[in-house]
Structure 1
Amino acid sequence: MFAATILVVLGIWSFLQGLAAIFQGHFFVVQPGYIYSIGTTGWGWVHLILGILLFIIGICLFLGQTWARVLGVILAAISAVLNFLFIPFYPLWSIVLIAVDIFVIWALLTIRRQDVY
């Protein structure tokens, strides 16, 4: 339940972050000389799509879909990597999201007692 709840919240956060980057790109301060030169609009679309996927996987986890655990781990890992690459645009927020992604991965990979029997 923890992972499903956090994935839904992460999905909403990423979706809103994507919308902010698409419509208000000047909100993010872009550091000059960043090796991954993707504009804020490009990052906005990446976060928007990732947010939708995270939200859908979170809902599927609430519904008890076992395949959603695997996809949740994969998407949380992708989210952590993308937020690492997004650090020059919004450092503190990206670091917080990386930490939350790690907690989601931990929660999804932890074997519950009822799963064993």
Structure 2
Amino acid sequence: MSHADPNCIFCKIAEGQIPSRKVYEDEELLGFHDIRPHAPVHFLLIPKVHVPSLQEVGPEHEALLGRMLALAPRLARENGADNGFRVVVNTGPDGGQEVYHLHVHVMGGPRPWRVG
């Protein structure tokens, strides 16, 4: 597992080569607003280490995944999803994954949300 993929847009965002509207950052994780939001609150959480998808996750990633999911509720509330939110991890082509860097979508806010 490499730390970064030079061709990965999310690795470039994590390294600061491409700007983003950050909602969170620490040594392991980055949270930023989705550029095509599907809900009033819609941000992504990504590991800074390059993991192509949830399909490639192993036991060595358990703590990282736990941190991502444990952080989601706090960030959702801080960004205005006070009445609930959805967490989505698209995996592989049949799962709708568009960027092959593990990421968690956190979506919330007043409904109805845009579909598609």
TM over 0.5: no
More strand by share: 2
More helix by share: 1
The structure that has the greater radius of gyration is 1
